[in-house]
Amino acid sequence: MPDMKSILVYISLIFSCQYIQAQERDSLLTVFWNVENFFDYTDQGNGESDKEFSSMGARHWTKKKFYRKCDAIAKTILWMGDIYGRMPDIIGFAEIENRGVLKILLESTLLRKYDYGIVHYDSPDRRGIDVALIYRKSVFRKISCSLRVPEYEGIGLQTRDILHVQMEMLSDGKDTLNFIVNHHPSKFGGEKESEGRRNAAMIALKEMCDSIGNEPVIAMGDFNDSPDGPAFGIIEGTLVNKGKELYEKGEGSIRYEGRWDLIDMFLVSGTIAENTHMEICRIPFLMTWDKKHPGEKPLRTYSGPRYIGGVSDHCPVILWYFKDN
């Protein structure tokens, strides 16, 4: 049974959505979601994770389970379209195996009714997971895209790239926006030991923003650190962290040992910071009761080696951009 805090969060979301729907219609809805090991079900010989997440692998990741996850992701996006009054214009993903899984997602589910385009490139990540972006082709025209693989101590860091996509809005103003999708190195091996890798990723993000110039930037991602982490000091003065206020209120996108933490967030240019609003999206059918600690948590796909049928241990996060406010 949901606790009172979960009920209040849900009521707050409804009122927030009603408020947002009352705003000027000239707005954009951006989503970021780490969908946790979104692999297809075939072993294409691309490493241990590819083998593990296959029909014959250790996870027994079958076609049925894969399509079930596709349907759940699509249902989530359609739920957002219903609740927020419009389908997301941009969705950034983390932990995507390849372009193929997104192609199947957009063609085999009810998302096929919508005009989403894909931006994805393979990265050198050792687990074989990448970042990616989909966008409404009726809202945006892709101008360009570029990649940046962070360097650590002078050598290429074998991790996910940072994806930059420059978009032109198909509106009267023909405004240009820059979307940057991140998935920074985790704290695996120890927080202090991995700090240098996260710093390298943040330096790469800052340099990418510096190269863009005065055009607005919306950076999103799983930064594997909370807003008070030292790596965020590198980007301070370049981008405004829209997750900081939520974090200070005790909100989060993941839950560990009964405690919420915020590692998925948006960073935006100062010129548009006042026109943006970030929320954490706790969707009822993506949550499960935490048996060890009071409250709910995101329902992930696996609990250890056991398949439990969820989507991710991360909640999606959203950013509204009100162009005329």
CA angle, residues 209, 23, 165, in degrees to nearest 5 = 25
Q: What is the pLDDT of residue 124?
A: 83
For the chain, give every domain's residue range.
4-322
Q: What is the mean pLDDT of residues 187-193?
A: 67
pLDDT-based confidence at residue 189 (cuts at 50, 70, 90): low
Q: What is the pLDDT of residue 2?
A: 53
| Side-chain half-sphere exposure of 19, counting CA atoms within 13 A | 10
Q: What is the mean pLDDT of residues 263-285?
A: 97
% of the chain residues with pLDDT over 70: 87
For residues 68 and 82, give the distance between their C-alpha atoms in angstroms, rounded to a whole number. 21
Q: What is the pLDDT of residue 229?
A: 94
Q: What is the mean pLDDT of residues 273-297?
A: 95
For 318, residues 6+ apart whose C-beta sits below 8 A from its C-beta are: 29, 30, 31, 32, 80, 84, 88, 278, 279, 281
For residues 18 and 101, give the distance between their C-alpha atoms in angstroms, rounded to a whole number. 33
Instruction: Tell me the three state secondary structure of residue 123.
Output: coil
Phi and psi at 245, nearest 5°, equal: -65, -40
Burial class of residue 154, CB neighbours in 10 A (0-12, 13-18, 19+): exposed
In angstroms, the Cα distances linking 94 to 89, 98, 142, 246, 301 are: 17, 11, 20, 21, 15
Res. 325: pLDDT tops 80: no
Return the number of other C-beta atoms located less than 10 Å from residue 99's C-beta: 15
For 226, residues 6+ apart whose C-beta sits below 8 A from its C-beta are: 247, 261, 262, 263
Res. 309: pLDDT tops 80: yes
Q: Helix 63-84 vs helix 99-108: angle between axes, to the nearest 10 degrees?
A: 70
pLDDT-based confidence at residue 98 (cuts at 50, 70, 90): very high
Res. 226: pLDDT tops 80: yes
pTM tops 0.85: yes
pLDDT-based confidence at residue 211 (cuts at 50, 70, 90): very high
Say if CB 167 and CB 140 are below 8 A apart: yes
Which of 172, 142, 163, 154 minimizes the C-alpha distance to 99? 163
For residues 280 and 262, give the distance between their C-alpha atoms in angstroms, rounded to a whole number. 9
Q: What is the pLDDT of residue 20?
A: 47
Q: Give the pair of three-digit tokens for residue 317.
A: 């996060």
Q: What is the pLDDT of residue 23?
A: 45
Q: Over the stretch 49-95, which tens digit does the pLDDT of each residue have?
A: 999 999 999 999 999 999 999 999 999 999 999 999 999 999 999 99
- CATH number for 4-322: choose from 3.40.1440.10, 3.90.1640.10, 3.40.50.20, 3.60.10.10: 3.60.10.10
% of the chain residues with pLDDT over 90: 74
For residues 157 and 201, give the distance between their C-alpha atoms in angstroms, rounded to a whole number. 9
For residues 241 and 236, give the distance between their C-alpha atoms in angstroms, rounded to a whole number. 8
For residues 69 and 63, give the distance between their C-alpha atoms in angstroms, rounded to a whole number. 10
Q: What is the mean pLDDT of residues 154-180?
A: 82
Q: What is the pLDDT of residue 83?
A: 95
